[in-house]
Amino acid sequence: MSPKSEEFDLQAIAKKLMVCVESTFMQMCNTSFIGDPQITEKDIIEYQSRMRIFGLEKFNGPCYISVINLYLNDDQLKKDRPIGAVLLYIEESVATSLLKATGQKGLDCEDFDSITNYTGEFCSSIVGQFKTELKSLGYSDIATSAPSNYQDDIPGGVNFKFSQQKFYELSFVLKKEPAVIVDVTLAPSS
């Protein structure tokens, strides 16, 4: 079971996600953000039936991106029919300090694979908590894809529920500038 169209509120979902992001960064690297995040509703830009993703629009420079698709159940996951997606963007200059703050020994903070793997771990942790929050909004246990990790953009775009026209962007500030941005799109079950 999940919320039907008439009781669906994407903004309420974005607010639940906000709590998950803040909790994840506090747990994984003892980092808290400055103030509340800015939450903005935006139009999905579709290109060839996929959600267009260009990270350089988020920051004034390079970034790392991790995406996890959300599915109503395992059958929909196998058919790759998502009902939504969570995208995590971490500004490049902040990524190294966030990774160092995790306290992991032997971590090469200059290695692309290390950074993108940790971006995926941050995203997985956020989505793991988010799945629990979605239950409180009436969704059953959502199935998720593994994180896919990129730098600056996702050339092929992201699969999403084509009926969705909007997403929410949550912008989190560190050191007076947005450093972490999370996008969410999620459709009702009908």
Average pLDDT over residues 89-94: 89
Q: What's the confidence (pLDDT) of residue 51?
A: 93
pLDDT greater than 70 at residue 82? yes
What CATH number is attached to the domain comprising 133? Answer: 3.40.1550.10
Categorize the per-residue pLDDT at 190 as very low, low, confident or very high, splitting at 50, 70 and 90: low
Distance in angstroms (rounded) separating the CA atoms of residues 150 and 103? 23
Q: What is the pTM of this model?
A: 0.90
- Domain containing residue 168: 5-186
- Measured at the CA of 14, the angle between CA 8 and CA 71, to 5 degrees, comes to 65
**Phi-psi domain of 115 (left: phi exceeds 0; alpha: psi -120 through 50; beta: other):** alpha
Domain count along the chain: 1
Asked if 119 and 109 touch (Cβ cutoff 8 Å), the reply is no
Q: What's the confidence (pLDDT) of residue 109?
A: 55
Q: What's the confidence (pLDDT) of residue 136?
A: 82
Element (H, E) at 18: helix 10-29
pLDDT greater than 70 at residue 6? no
The pLDDT tens digits for 138-153 are 888 799 999 999 999 9
Average pLDDT over residues 178-182: 93
